[in-house]
Amino acid sequence: MVTAIVIPIILAYFYWLTKKEMQENYQEWLNLEDIPEEAIITGKILEIHEHKERFYYHRFNHVTVLKIMTDSKQVTVRKVTPVRKGASIPIFQKGDVVHLFGNWKQGYFSINRAIKHEEGV
């Protein structure tokens, strides 16, 4: 009799806990795209590396790592884009001069927005 009551309660609790964790991870995954624009880097793209990484079970990120030559030094920057329906992956080309908006975190610059610098402006 006790088993018929306790087991469904335990199952319902773990279902609720798992559902809550999945919702938190979904929001965290979407927030990877929203980076505060606290700094600007302008420079020429020297190297481009792109790869796909797993974020959480069936959620993936497209990661673009760029090496930028600014006026004074070489900087590594990262653009993380959650892979979902309708997401646009930014396309960079070696040799382009770009303005990158984002912030510094964990030893590299995280990009929120990138604008190609037009020649003659």
What is the pLDDT at residue 120?
43
User: 36 to each of 13, 27, 82, how far by Cα in Å?
Assistant: 37, 16, 16
User: 91 to each of 16, 28, 70, 80, 88, how far by Cα in Å?
Assistant: 40, 24, 20, 13, 9
What is the pLDDT at residue 119?
60
Per-residue tokens: 25: 């991870």
Mean pLDDT of the 60-74 span: 92
What is the C-alpha to C-alpha distance for residues 111 and 51, in angstroms, rounded to an integer?
A: 16
Domains of the chain: 39-116 (2.40.50.140)
Mean pLDDT of the 55-69 span: 91
Whether residue 25 is predicted with pLDDT greater than 60 in this model: the reply is yes
9-20 pLDDT per residue, tens: 999 999 999 999
Whether residue 57 is predicted with pLDDT greater than 90 in this model: the reply is no
Per-residue tokens: 108: 């590299």
> Which residue in 43, 41, 48, 46 sits closest to 89, CA to CA?
48
What is the C-alpha to C-alpha distance for residues 6 and 4, in angstroms, rounded to an integer?
A: 6
> Which residue in 119, 117, 55 sits closest to 87, CA to CA?
55
69-119 pLDDT per residue, tens: 988 899 999 999 999 888 888 888 998 899 999 999 888 899 998 998 766
**Mean pLDDT for the chain overall:** 89
pTM: 0.79
Helix (H) or strand (E) holding 109: strand 108-116
